[in-house]
Every structure is written in C-alpha cells, then in structure tokens.
Amino acid sequence: MKSTSKLLLAFSGILAFLLAGSLISFAPWQDEKREERDLSVFKGFSVSIPADVYYTQDKTQRVILEGDPDDLARVVTQVEGSTLKIFTRGFSFRWNGKVKITLSSAECQFMELSGSGKIVSEKPLNTNALDLRLSGSGSFIIQQLNAKSLSGRISGSGNMTVNGGSELSEIDFSISGSGDVNAENFLAKQGSVKISGSGNCSVNVTERLEGRISGSGNLYYRGKPMLDVVISGSGKARPI
C-alpha cells in the first residue's frame, strides 16, 4: 500500500512538472500588429533592434512598425536633434518574431544599424551627403544614391551595397573586422578606404584613390585613379 502511494505521488509530481512546462513554453498566438507613430521631423535614423527597415524618401514623413504586439510594445521611437532613434529600454529579451519598420522622410543624411537586421532603400535617394554606419552583422542596400559625398563605417561582419545614379565627388569607407563594401556600381572622383582586419571593399574611382590596409583585407577598384596605397599584412589592392 505504501509503495502504491509513493508511486502515485511520484506520478502526480511528474504530471505537475510537465503541465507547468507547457504553460511556460507555449504562449497564446497573437496576430501581427501594425502601428503608425507620429513623431517630429527627422533627417536620419539609428536602429538598435534586429529589424528589417525599408526607407523611402518622400515629402510625407511616416514611421510604421509591424510585428508581434508584445515586441512592438517594447520598441521605443524618439527623435533626438534631427535623428530618429529606434531601440528598446532595459534588459535584453527574446523576440517573438521579426519586426518590420517602414520609414519615409523628406531628407536623409544619416543611417545607422547596430546588431543584425537590414536597412533597404529601394527608390532614388537624393541628398548632399550620406553617412552610413553599421555595427554587427547587419546589412545596408542602397539601390540608387544621388549625392556629392558618401561615407560608410563597418565594425564587425556586416555588409554594405550602394548603387549610384550620379557621379560623387568623394567617398570614404572604413572597415574594422570582416565586413564588406560593394560600391563599384557608381563613379566617384576621389576615394579613401581604410581596412583593418579581413574585410573587402570594391569601388569605382576616376581621379585619386587612397588606401590603408592592415591585415588580410582587400581593396578592389575600377577606373584608373592615381593610387596612394599602404599595406601592412597580407592584404592586397588590385584592379577589377
């Protein structure tokens, strides 16, 4: 009799444990939410969450978030100076799904992404100067840039692809880590490229190209620019 009671007690304990685990593991499924936020004017943006961001230059400014309601509730959007900042407060947490962000503004001079995710600009972007900054494993895709100058900074393993619609006066890229820059599909008169690590950068420069490589990185170039290249390590600078 005692052995039977012990067996029933053990079985009850296991059943309670399994039920508790099921309650913890499975949250009720929720429909995705679409949320538009009304913010003050911004001329650039910084994203610090793992999101897919789609930017369009337009006279009507919009900030639209789509995703799991619990995820969106944690996302903070605020404008500081002329920069829209998108981030979360407090400790790190597990995301329930992918967050999609759609942005539009009359002007854009600055884009920054920290962590994973991507920023995509599919339509023509017209600006005097554009500054791109990427930290982590994310990516930038700028389909058609019309500008006078472009600067790009990568820290980590991320990648940038920039296509141009007009010739730029100057470009300036810096890679720290294993990141890649693909900027060979537009012309620039002058260029400066710094690579520290194993990253790669491809450009199309017509007049003067300065390169500084430390490590095993590679600088690939089109055009016939006057070269000023210094290499420390096994890296290379070569035409394509």
Write out 109-149 in H/E/C secondary structure. Answer: CEEEEECCEEEEECCCEECCEEEEEEEECCEEEEEEEECCE
Is residue 11's pLDDT more than 50? Answer: no
Domains along the sequence of the chain with CATH: 34-108 (no CATH), 122-240 (2.160.20.120)
Confidence grade of residue 232 (pLDDT, cut at 50, 70, 90):
very high
pTM of the predicted protein model: 0.86
Q: What is the pLDDT of residues 81-128, one digit of tens each?
A: 999 999 998 766 789 999 999 999 999 999 999 999 999 999 999 999
Is residue 2's pLDDT more than 50? Answer: no
Confidence grade of residue 31 (pLDDT, cut at 50, 70, 90):
confident
